[in-house]
Structure formats: structure tokens, C-alpha cells
Amino acid sequence: MDETTSFTETEQTTDNKNGSSGRKAPIAPSAHKAVKKKSTITKLVFIGIALVLGLILAFCPMQFGLKKYQPFLSKEAISLGLDLEGGIYAVYEAGNTDTDGFDAKMEGTRAALESLLASKGQTEATVVREGNTRIRVEIPGAEDTEDLLSIIGEPAQISFVLDDTGETVLTGEDVVSADSYYSANDGGYVVSLELTSGGQDKFHEATSNNIGKTMSIVVTIGGESTTVSQPSINSAISGNAIISGNFTAESSERLANQIMSGTFDVALELRETDTISPTLGNDALKYGLIAGIVGFSLVIVFMCIMYGMLGLTATIALLFYLIIYLFFLAALPWVQLTLPGIAGILLSIGMAVDANVIVFERIKEEYRNGKSIMAAYHAGFKKALFAILDSNVTTVIACILLLLLGTGSVSGFALTLLVGVLVSLFTSLAVTRGLLKYFINLNSYNAKIYRLKRGKQFENLEADSTAQAVLEEMQREEMEKKQAKEAKKEKNRAKKERSSQKINNGGETA
């Protein structure tokens, strides 16, 4: 049975001489439940302290001497996107598309612009291609927008410079193409350079006179220069060149694109630009927070009304969910909060109780069919597990596909929703289960506080008791499970023995 019981010795005094016996002493109550309740209360106190500390870290800024702590839910901790923080966006179009290797040159220009903005401190800026001929640039919280826009419109320039003398050996006019591929002879990925005839002559002379020295590959946009590679000159090169090193497929492709961007001698033409006021972003963030608080409160009220103490347990688990969720939003470097991202957060809050509802309904069903509260608790989580996993796995798959195939706001929505679903899965299966077990240890005899009701045939059965027929069925299922495990172990053991015999027979010689 689920209820823990114990035997206590009954004291009895007997007068052998007179043949009379004294009355029975009362049976001493078991100390097990008292000890269990005491340890349970201690654990709940520690959980409460952890919850309070988590809420403080999540929402309360604090000052420690000269250092100020920013909570998880703050603009300093969570990166804000263009639509929340404000900034600028611009769309550029290539003026001349009739050129060899146009796609590679456009991709190289995009990578070069991204590096340029990062070097100016705009690490949250996004540079993406729109269609085949356009590049879209979004810069959150940007200042000096006119300077940035003018720099972006200028074409990239590539130059090969000897580090020893500072002499420029080649420019973008000397480079025909740059490609990356895997070379077995060089032991990895390399970047090959196809040069013009004049470029080959200049490169041969420079490499012949500077063997063992280094040459920097520099990309310049708007007067800002960035060294993208610094290879050593191993020998005199009379034809096309190969740059080798510890490249991956991605890094070699990136270097090839950066070199190609310097051969793209057509400036990007500004087609569209606009600014987003920070006031609009602040309003959107404020109303998003209000919507989150209202939604969270409604979920708590609904759970407490429908499920009583079960709902209160889910509420505490939801608070842990909120703390962990905000922590990951602040800690993960690739999370940038946007309006679609806020939508993903609000949706994940609503979905956070899905698993709890499934479990609680199974607990109510098991209790209604004759099991004790504790037995219904165990059976409810056990039988609801696969339904919970199935429902969440489908959402996780959808989020991953959106991350892989979507861009911009779509990927932001998918990322916040994915993090929320994974965190809610953990809190539902781990936090809620542990908390509910502690509450049932404190009170396993009052079904009303859990909103549990017996079926008609079990109306007179105590809340902490299990019907005999149900108990026998549970014991039978447990026995069958045990037998199945034993049969599986025996099957595996026999399989290992057969494998061992085959190996021994194979090793014998005639």
C-alpha cells in the first residue's frame, strides 16, 4: 500500500502468582510521520528562501559599493532589438549587377559591412541580404546615423600589404576571384586566389623578395581598415596563390567572401531608410510587460480556482519558471528581445501550465477511481509523462525549423518560444513534482484542498486509503512489470552467452 505503516510492541503486565493480568498499555504512535513532516517543512523553507532570492535577482536592482547589480529583467541584461530600443534601418541596392561572381561579391560586401559595424561598437547590428541585389542594415540605438549611412554606401577595398615594409602589393583590381575548397595535400580547407596577369607578376616579385615574412590582407570601408588574415610567405609564387592554415569550411568561405568584397567596385545605393524612436520601443516594452503580468496573473487565478492546492503548487513552479526563463534570456548572448520575441514569451507563459493541467487531470482521474492521494500523485505523473513529452516535442521541432529557416523577427520569436518551452518542461516535470510531493507529505488525508473527488462507488473510502480491488490491480501491474524486467535481463544474459560461445568457437583451430 502507499501509506507507510509500522508495528509497535504492546506492553502487557501479568501477575503470575495471582493469575491476573493488567490492562493493555496504549499503542505508541509511530514517530515516522512526525520525522517526515519535520524534514518536509525544512525542505519547503529552503525552497521558499531560494524562491525569494531568485525573485530579488530577477527583478530588483541593487548597489554594492561602486558597483550596481542589474536584475535579469532589465535593458542592461537583455539585449533589445531595433523595434524596442530604437535606431535606424537602411536598405541598399547594388548599382551594377552585370559582373562576374556577383553573388560572392555581394556576400563578401555583407560580411565586410558586418565587421565594420562591429568594429564601431555596433555588435547588435544585423546585416542581411534581401533578394539578390539588396542589403538591409538594422542598427539598434544608433547615434551619428548620417556618418554610418555614408560609410555603408561606400564600396569595400581590398589590399595585400607587406608587414615588413608597409608596401601595398595587390589591390582588388588585381584579383579575379577567391574560392574556398578542401585540399587533401594541404591537410584542410584553403582559399585559392586567381590573379590577373599583371597581379601575378607583382605577386611573384613581392613573394620572391620576402620569403619567411608575413603579408596582411586588409579590407577598408569608409576609411576604416580591418585585417582579415595575415598569412606567411613560404615560397616565391609565380601563378595563382593558395592561403592555407587552420581553416574550417565556414572560416575559409568567410575569408574568400571578404576578399571578393574588395573586388566589387560599385557603390551601394541607398534606397530606403528610416529611424525608429526609442519612445515607441519603450511603450512597446511597457505594454508588453503589462500584458505579461496580466496573463501571468490570470493563469495563477485560474489554476488556484480549478485545482486548489495543486494549483498553488503550479503557481510556485511558475514563479521558478519565470526566474529561470529570465535568467536564460539575459545569459544567452544570441537572444535579442524584439516585439515578436515578446509575443513568444507571452505564448510560452500561457503554455507553461499545459503540462501541469495534464498531470492534475490524471491525478483527479486516478483518485476518482479509488486510489489514495499519494498513489494518485505517483500514477498521475507516470501516466502523463509521454503525453507531455509528445505535446512539447512538436512545439520544439516547429521552433527549431523556424530558427533554421527564418530570419530576423521570425527567428527571434522562435528562440524565445523555444527557451520558454524547454524551461516549462523542466519546471513541470521536476519542480512541480517535487513541490507536490512535499505538500502531500504534509497533508495526505484532506482531498478537498486538492479539489479531488471520489467516484460514486468509492465515496466512503478515506482520502489516504486505496480500494482493495484497486490495490490488487496495482500489485498485479507491479508484479508483471517486475517479471518483464527479469525476462528482459534473462534474454540479454542469454544473448551475451550465445555471443561469447560464437566468439570462442570462431577462435578454435582444427
CA atoms within 13 A on the CB side of 386: 2
Q: Would you say residue 149 has pLDDT above 70?
A: no
Is the pLDDT higher at 491 or at 336? 491
Q: Is the pLDDT of residue 205 over 60?
A: yes
**What local confidence, expressed as pLDDT, does residue 30 receive?**
39
pTM of the model: 0.63
Q: Which of 165-169, 250-254, 437-441 has the lowest mean pLDDT?
A: 250-254
Mean pLDDT computed over 472-496: 82
Sign of torsion over alpha carbons 380, 382, 387, 388: positive
* pLDDT at res. 471: 83
pLDDT category, 142, cuts 50, 70, 90?
A: low
pLDDT tens-digit readout, 5-29: 333 333 444 444 444 334 333 333 3
Q: What is the pLDDT at residue 364?
A: 92
3-state secondary structure at position 194: strand
* Length, in residues, of the chain: 510
Give the C-alpha separation, 158 to 263, whole Å.
7
pLDDT digits (tens, 9 = 90+) for 74-114: 777 777 777 777 778 888 888 777 766 777 778 777 877 77
The pLDDT value given to residue 289: 79
pLDDT tens for each residue of 425-466: 899 889 999 999 999 988 888 889 999 998 888 888 888 888
Read off the pLDDT of each residue in 242-262 and give the average, rounded to a whole number: 79
For residues 182 and 409, the model is more confident at 182
DSSP per position, 211-264: TT-BEEEEEEETTEEEEEE--B--S---S-EEEEEEE-HHHHHHHHHHHHHTT-
Segment 246-252 mean pLDDT: 82
Q: Residues 44-53: pLDDT tens digits?
A: 999 999 999 9
pLDDT at 11: 41
Q: What band does 313 get if pLDDT is binned at 50, 70 and 90?
A: very high
- The whole-angstrom separation of Cα 3 and Cα 285 is 51
Query: Mean pLDDT throughout 357-385?
Result: 90
Q: Biggest alpha carbon distance in the chain?
A: 130
Measuring CA to CA, how many Å separate 328 from each of 321, 333, 468?
11, 9, 48
CB burial readout 290-327, b (16+ within 10 A) else e: eebeeebeebbeebbeebbbbbbbbbbbbbbbbbbbbb
Q: Work out the angle at residue 396's Cα, subtended by the Cα atoms of residues 390 and 398, and round it to the nearest 5 degrees.
A: 110
